[in-house]
Structure 1
Amino acid sequence: MTLSPDAGTTPALLGAHGVHVAFPGRHGAPDARAVDGVDLAIRPGEIVALVGESGCGKTTLARALLGLVRPTAGSVTFDGRPLEYSGRSLKAYRKRVQLVLQDPSGSLNPRHTVYDAVAEGLRVHRHRGDEQAAVAEALSRAGLRPPERFFLRRPHELSGGQRQRVVIAGALVLEPELLVADEPVASLDASVRGEILALLLRLRDELGLSALVVTHDLGLAWNIADRVAVMYLGRIVETGPVEQVLTAPRHPYTRALLSVLPDAPGDPVVLTGEPPDPSRVPSGCRFHARCQVLASGEAERAGVARACRTRDPGILPGDGTAGVACHWATAAR
């Protein structure tokens, strides 16, 4: 595990501290360790991309950060205070931290008008101001102008990009400080993805919003994030400024993910096998059974092959410093 000396000093707005989330196994099987020890910090005005394969635990981690799943161990803090799990506390918290889902068609009620969809949060939180003005401002900020033209439309009358903008407006109407966006452009056409990413960047610049963007797409991370955290089998295995991680990746897993991008140099790295079962996390480095560096003999030549198979590299700190949980990367430095 290695760290860069230029860690950010701004206090975190949202933080995970040794977070574990385990789900009971069936019929006496071991618990599934969906999130297996994560430290992560998101500072005010910062966009962090959480990247990894399907099933690596990134959505479960996002749900824990939102208070939708209570950690088995560890804690979540917001604005320096531990998250409380009473109904009143969670309701107040979710006004400040809003979720933007992957599929706008699934998250919008087909019977509701755009106005009702955006106003729903205001009604849940018993907003006392001018509801129509708040809805109009949120739609306008989300790029649906003039907003009044969309009030009475229903989801089936909108394009995919417009539906995603309605979902974003529904989050913005409560004036949150942080958005958690789970695959925010995965269901959109390529021509629309750039518009939604540009919108998220504009909201950060205009409103000072922070964001955690959950994605399997490193190209998306490159275009939107300040910092990236790469997750594998419940752990963050590499983190740092997006340009540093994506131009000079150190973890073999990050290198494999990057190798399949269209403009990546060299041949794609084909990982052997499937990700291990989270109820049976391998000993040592959890990536070692699929690691191309270990399989090629490079780890043996670096003198770390035994450590790769037997010694856990540990949990990376979440204070904004760059780090990699890899014995070979540490030895090669």
Structure 2
Amino acid sequence: MTVTPQSVAAAASVPAAPLLSAEGLEVSFPARRGDAARARAVDGVDLDIRPGEIVALVGESGCGKTTLARSLLGLVPPTAGRVTFAGRPLDYSSRALKAYRKRVQLVLQDPSGSLNPRHTVYDAVAEGLRIHAYAGDEHEAVSTALARAGLRPPERFFLRYPHELSGGQRQRVVIAGALVLEPELIVADEPVASLDASVRGEILALLLRLRAELGLSALVVTHDLGLAWNIADRVAVMYLGRIIETGAVEDVLSSPQHPYTQALLSVLPEAPGDPVVLTGEPPDPSRIPPGCRFHARCHILANGEADRAGVATACRTTDLPLLNGSGASQVACHWAASR
């Protein structure tokens, strides 16, 4: 086969196969006692994460972000749809999940709650190695993980307990505990929400450095669009169990198309104009309204813009198709599609 500049360029332009994919993923739970309906926490989600890519999953509390993340980790089996990793459907047997969780690790929001107060830093980081019967040099693996997480020299932290560390140091220990198994992807659920502003930037810089040095992929679950702007390659905006806007972070956050995304961005300190105040709460996930699931709170519908665009009836009555997980810029909004 002859290699030409054109063939090299064509190969470079082909996106890498997804490392992790959700396809038509649904997760539902029993609703209130006596109610036959089920709460659809995740209601049809396609999402791809490619090798070395950082994807931010954003939205208000209760929109389904954490349930989606837990399902991607194999902690919550889907009601419908499937999760694939490295091209193979996720197997929910105990042995298969144990092997999977060596390759995909979770970093939780609250490092104080993630760390056992009776365990030293060394034991906290070594725990994963012991669960997976690591056959190598445990001391070396723990030292390497702590150093990669920015705790240097690592030996200085071995015998410390969580209460002896700052909040930023505790979060670094949690990250080291995830890194020690050399995963290919981490799922970080609000990784800096409990940290002081002065420490947040350090942890975000650490995650970016780990991606550069290790080729690590990450799904960062957050309600903070400012965080997404600083760390992500791509953003997926979730509302009431579905992804309603997605694309490259610069495209979505510089020129948001969905009214919900516009409202989330409007409250950032640097946002121009007046903030958009959303009225009411998201609907009950066991009673999802017809039409666009955001229409009851939509300022575009309320101020008459949707009516002037001729889509107000569709907003209230016509459901929107699911967005695919390809990463292309997409929006599920009748008004945005009419513009």
TM-score class, shorter-chain normalisation, is over 0.9
Q: Aligned partners of 1:26, 1:246: CA distance in 2, in Å? A: 37
Q: Aligned partners of 2:245, 2:24: CA distance in 1, in Å? A: 16
SS at match of 1:204: helix
Deviations 1:66-105 (A, max 9, x none): 0000000000000000000000000000000000000000
Residue among 20, 24, 30 paired with 1:18: 24
- The structural deviation recorded for 1:27 is 2.3
Residue among 289, 294, 310 paired with 1:287: 294
Q: Aligned partners of 2:120, 2:176: CA distance in 1, in Å? A: 13
Q: Aligned partners of 1:122, 1:273: CA distance in 2, in Å? A: 47
Q: Aligned partners of 2:277, 2:105: CA distance in 1, in Å? A: 37
2:130 aligned with 1:118, yes or no? no
Amino acid aligned to 2:16: T
2:255 aligned with 1:248, yes or no? yes
2:60 aligned with 1:37, yes or no? no
Give the match for residue 221 of structure 1: 228
Give the match for residue 176 of structure 2: 169
SS at match of 1:33: strand
Amino acid aligned to 1:15: S
SS at match of 2:146: helix
SS at match of 2:57: strand
Residue among 175, 181, 186 paired with 1:179: 186
2:104 aligned with 1:97, yes or no? yes
Query: Once superposed, what is the RMSD of the aligned Cα atoms?
Result: 0.8
Q: Aligned partners of 1:111, 1:27: CA distance in 2, in Å? A: 39
- The structural deviation recorded for 1:8 is 6.7
Give the match for residue 244 of structure 2: 237
Which of structures 1 and 2 has the larger relative contact order (alpha carbons within 8 angstroms, sep 6+)?
A: 1
Aligned residue-pair number: 326
2:75 aligned with 1:71, yes or no? no
Give the match for residue 277 of structure 1: 284
Give the match for residue 61 of structure 2: 54
TM-score between the two structures when normalised by the length of structure 1:
0.97
Percentage of pairs with the same residue: 81
TM-score between the two structures when normalised by the length of structure 2:
0.95
Q: Aligned partners of 1:229, 1:316: CA distance in 2, in Å? A: 10
Q: How does 1:183-198 map to 2 (within 5 A)?
A: 183-198=190-205
- Asked if the contact 1:227–1:240 (Cα under 8 Å) also holds between the matched residues in 2, the reply is yes
Q: Aligned partners of 2:19, 2:34: CA distance in 1, in Å? A: 39
Amino acid aligned to 1:197: L
Residue among 150, 161, 169 paired with 1:154: 161
Q: Aligned partners of 2:171, 2:15: CA distance in 1, in Å? A: 34
Amino acid aligned to 1:22: S
- The structural deviation recorded for 1:28 is 2.9
- The structural deviation recorded for 1:9 is 2.4
SS at match of 1:27: coil
Q: Aligned partners of 1:9, 1:103: CA distance in 2, in Å? A: 35
Segments of structure 1 that go 5 or more residues without pairing to the other structure are 1-6
> Any runs of at least 4 consecutive aligned residues in structure 1 with deviations exceeding 6 A, and if so which?
none
Deviations 1:269-313 (A, max 9, x none): 011111111111010000000000011111111111111001111
Q: Aligned partners of 2:278, 2:173: CA distance in 1, in Å? A: 39
- Asked if the contact 1:142–1:165 (Cα under 8 Å) also holds between the matched residues in 2, the reply is yes
- The structural deviation recorded for 1:319 is 1.3
